Amino acid sequence: MHFRNRKIVSRPEVRDIGKDCPPGLMPIQSELMRRLFWHRGIRDERELDYSLTNMLNPDGLHNREEATEILSRAIVEDRRIMIVGDYDVDGATATTLGIRVLNAFGAGHVRYLVPDRFKHGYGLSKEIAEEALRQEPELVVTVDNGISSIEGVETLKNQGVKVLITDHHLPGEYLPQADAILNPNQKDCQFESKNLAGVGVMFYLLIMVRRNLIENGWFEASGLKPPNLANYLDLVALGTVADVVPLDRNNRILVSQGLSRIRAGKCCRGILALLEISKRKSEEVASTDLAFAVAPRLNAAGRLDNITIGIECLLSDSDEQAREYATRLDQINMKRRDIEKSMKEDALKIIGDLSPSDFIGSNSDPELMQRICLYDAKFHQGLNGLIASRMKDLTGLPVVVFSQLEDGSLTGSARSIDGLHIRDLLDRIACQNPELIIRFGGHAMAAGLTIDQERFEQFRAAYLKEVRAYINEHGDVETVETDGMLHADEINLENAQAIADVTTWGKSFPMPTFFGRFYVQHARVVGNHHLKLQLAAKNLETRLDAIVFNVVGEDEKIPSLKHIEAVYRLEVNEYMDRKRLQLLIENFTPI
C-alpha cells in the first residue's frame, strides 16, 4: 500500500453558528448541515434556492447579439448548420443539446461532426474543417471547442462558411477570426460566472436564440410552439458535472434542475439507460451518479472508439435503442478499465515511491524527469488523462503522460495539483522554448499538448524545471482540507442521509469529508483490491463499517493495522433494501 505524507487541515471552524445566525440562514438545517454549508460560503438559505428564476441572465455575455443573430438567421433562412463537437461528455452533451433544440426550433438541416481522437486530434483543427467542408455546411457552430482553432476557422472562412464558436476554455494570445465567439472566459465578457461548461455556454446561446425567434414571430409563422428549454437541463447537468467545472451557484442551479428532471423520468432515454445499466436508481440520482456511473461510460467511447456512439445514445427517443447503445458503451468501458489497469501498472513501475520531497533542492535528475513526465510506446492515447490523474493522486505532483500518434508525434495529457496552473505552466515553457510545443490548451488543473517525438527530452527538462521551482517555493507536503472531526453522536446514518440528500456536491462545493482517529478491529480484502474495515472510536459505543477502494495491490498482503488516521465520508450503504452507515475512507495513515 502506498502511504504519502499529507497535512490534514480543517475548513475554518465555526462555533455556535446558531447564536450569530443572521435572519434566513438555514433555519431548518441540522447543526452539522449548517456547519457544512457555512464552510462552503453559504451565508443565507436563499443561496440554496436553486429555482430557475435565480439563474444568471445571459445579457452579460460578450458578443451575445452577434452570436444570437447568426444562429437565428441560419434557422429562419433554412441554412445548412453543422455542429462540431468534442469527444468528451461535455462535448457530447453540448452536441446533443444543439441538435435536439435546433430541431425543436424548426431548423431543417442540422448535422454534427465530432473529431476522431486518433485521426483528427482535438477541436476544430484544419483536418476536421476540411472534412466538414465535404458536407457543404453554411454555418459551423463549435461546442466545447474552437477558442484556439485559428487554422480550422481560417480554412472554413476561406470557403465562405460562417463560423460561430461556443467554448469555455481559456483563450490564448490570439483568437480565431470567427464571425462570433461566445465564451465567458474571453476578454471583456461581463458574465458573472466564468465556470460554465461547454454545454452551459450552448444552453445560454439557445436561450437567447429562442427569445430572438419569439420576438421576430418565427414560431408563430412556422406553426411551432416555442420549446421549454428547461426540459433539456438533464443534458446540461450531465455535461457540467462530467467536465468537473467549479459548481458555483449558477452551475448548481443548472445541475439541480437537471437532476430533478432525471429523478422525475423527464429526461432523454439515453441517460435513463446508462443509469439502468450501471445499476443506479434514476429516482434517487445525484451528481455523484452522473460523475461516476454515466460519464465514464460515455467518456470511454471517446477514449477508445468514437463518441458518436454516446451522442446517438443521448439522441435516441426509443427505450430499446437507448439500451442497445448503453450496452455497447458499457462494454467499451469494461475494455477501458482493462487497458487502464495495464497502463497504471506500467506507470507505477516508473513512479515508484516518488513524492514532492524528492524535488526540494534537487539538482537536475534524469530519473525525476522520467517519473513526472511519462512516455511508453504501449500507452493508449485515449487514457493518457486518466493515468496522469491517477499518478497525480498517488504522488502529489503534477504529471504528464504521453503516447504516440500515427504521424510519430507525441500527444500528452497533464493533470495538476491545487495551486499550480498547468496551462500557464505550459504557456511559460512555450514562451521560453519557441517551437518546442506544437499546440496546447486546457485549464488550471488539466491540459493537453502535442510535441515532436525528437523534442521529448527537451520538454521533459523544461517541465521538470518548472515543477521543481514550484515545489521549492510552496513546500513538499500536500494539504488535504476536511470539515474537521465529528463528535461521536454526529457519526450516524441520519447525517449520512442528510448529506446524500444534497444532490449538487462537486468541484468547489465539495462532498463533505471528515478527519478521525480509529482503532482497527478487523480488516479484510474484498473484490481483490478493496479493504473492508471494522473500526472503533473513542466515545462511540457502536462499531463502524468502513471501506477503502482500490488500495490493495496484486498479491499484496494487508499490513498490520491497529490505529489509523483517516479522511472519510459518511455514506449510506444500501443492501437488500436496508440502509446502514458506512465510512468511505479516501485516504488513511497507520499510526
Residues 485 and 466 in one domain: no
Residues 475 and 571 in one domain: no
Lowest-confidence pick of 61-65, 313-317, 396-400, 574-578: 574-578
Q: Is 112 domain-assigned?
A: yes
User: pLDDT for 150-159, tens place per residue?
Assistant: 999 999 999 9
Residues 516 and 384 in one domain: no
Q: What is the CATH number of the domain that holds 540?
A: 2.40.50.460
- Which one of 22-31, 163-172, 354-363, 469-478 scores highest in mean pLDDT? 163-172
What is the number of structural domains in the chain?
Answer: 3
pLDDT number for residue 581: 95
Residue 1 has pLDDT above 60, yes or no: no
204 close to 193: Cβ distance less than 8 angstroms: no
56 close to 257: Cβ distance less than 8 angstroms: no
Coil, helix or strand at residue 178: coil
Residue 64 has pLDDT above 60, yes or no: yes
Measured distance CA(567)–CA(168) in Å, rounded: 33
Rg of the chain on CA atoms, in Å: 25
Axis crossing angle, helix 422-432 with helix 456-474, rounded to the nearest 10: 130
Residue 26 has pLDDT above 60, yes or no: no
Residues 578 and 444 in one domain: no
Residues 367 and 493 in one domain: no
Residues 71 and 219 in one domain: yes
What is the arithmetic mean of pLDDT over 441-467? Answer: 90
Measured distance CA(206)–CA(93) in Å, rounded: 14
Residue where a domain stops, chosen among 479, 494, 512: 479
Q: What is the CATH number of the domain that holds 138?
A: 3.90.1640.30
Residue type, 260: S
What does each C-alpha distance from 54 to 48, 49, 371, 501 come to in angstroms? 10, 8, 47, 21
Q: What is the CATH number of the domain that holds 404?
A: 3.10.310.30
User: pLDDT for 389-438, tens place per residue?
Assistant: 988 887 788 999 999 988 889 999 999 988 899 999 999 999 999 989 99
Residue type, 109: H
Residue 571 has pLDDT above 80, yes or no: yes
Measured distance CA(113)–CA(95) in Å, rounded: 9
Residues 469 and 549 in one domain: no
Residue type, 149: S
Residues 185 and 148 in one domain: yes
Residues 453 and 507 in one domain: no
Q: Is 539 domain-assigned?
A: yes
Q: Is 455 domain-assigned?
A: yes
Q: Is 341 domain-assigned?
A: no
Q: Is 300 domain-assigned?
A: no
Residue where a domain stops, chosen among 479, 503, 521: 479
Coil, helix or strand at residue 523: strand
Q: Is 175 domain-assigned?
A: yes
Range of 432's domain?
352-479
User: pLDDT for 223-263, tens place per residue?
Assistant: 999 999 999 999 999 999 999 999 999 999 999 999 999 99
Q: Is 5 domain-assigned?
A: no
Residues 435 and 472 in one domain: yes
Q: Is 236 domain-assigned?
A: no
pLDDT number for residue 15: 41
All three cell numbers of 98: 444543439
Residue 492 has pLDDT above 90, yes or no: yes
Measured distance CA(359)–CA(91) in Å, rounded: 37
Residues 431 and 529 in one domain: no
Instruction: Scan for cell 471547442, then name that residue.
Output: 145
User: pLDDT for 449-459, tens place per residue?
Assistant: 999 999 999 99
Residues 523 and 554 in one domain: yes
User: pLDDT for 287-301, tens place per residue?
Assistant: 999 999 999 999 999
pTM above 0.85, yes or no: yes
Measured distance CA(507)–CA(260) in Å, rounded: 20
Residue where a domain stops, chosen among 479, 500, 527: 479
Residue of 201, 233, 213 lying closest to 100 (CA atoms): 233
Measured distance CA(452)–CA(462) in Å, rounded: 15
Please report which confidence band the pLDDT of residue 265 belongs to, taking 50, 70 and 90 as the band edges.
very high
